[in-house]
Amino acid sequence: MSGQVHTIDGMATVAEAMATMRRLQISSLVVDRRHDDDELGLITVSDLAREVVAHDRAPARVNVYEVMSKPALTIRSSMLVRYAVRLLVQFGVSRALVVDDAGAPCGLVTLRDLVLGLTPE
């Protein structure tokens, strides 16, 4: 699990998201809530490739909220690994936002992290 959560505003441009991902050497960003009753979103390199690059859209003219996944799939930090794997597989996603018992984001986990974490060293 990546314990550091990097966020971006949904009104930011895709070009800004791409620059942030490149600078931080990461492949996803958590999209901030717009208000207290809102949910967190997630934008990934795959979203950028599928929704922007593959359609020849200009990254500087597309906002993050237009291509993000929302609500982000979340798993509790206390969830057993086997259930987390099932959840990601069921929804066909490769990563999920990890939240604490209060619902605050505390990290990101990938299917790779979960599955390879099951193997003994």
Q: Does residue 23 surpass a pLDDT of 90?
A: yes
45 in Cβ contact with 68 (< 8 Å): no
Confidence of residue 4 (pLDDT cuts 50, 70, 90): confident
CATH H-level, domain 7-116: superfamily: CBS-domain (3.10.580.10)
109 in Cβ contact with 117 (< 8 Å): no
Task: Find, among 61, 62, 7, the residue nearest to 34 by Cα.
Answer: 7
**pLDDT the model gives residue 66:** 96
H-helix or E-strand spanning residue 98:
strand 95-99
**pLDDT the model gives residue 120:** 66
Domain ranges of the chain: 7-116
User: Using one digit for the tens of pLDDT, what is the confidence trace for 71-110?
Assistant: 999 999 999 999 999 999 999 999 999 999 888 899 999 9
Total-model pTM? 0.85
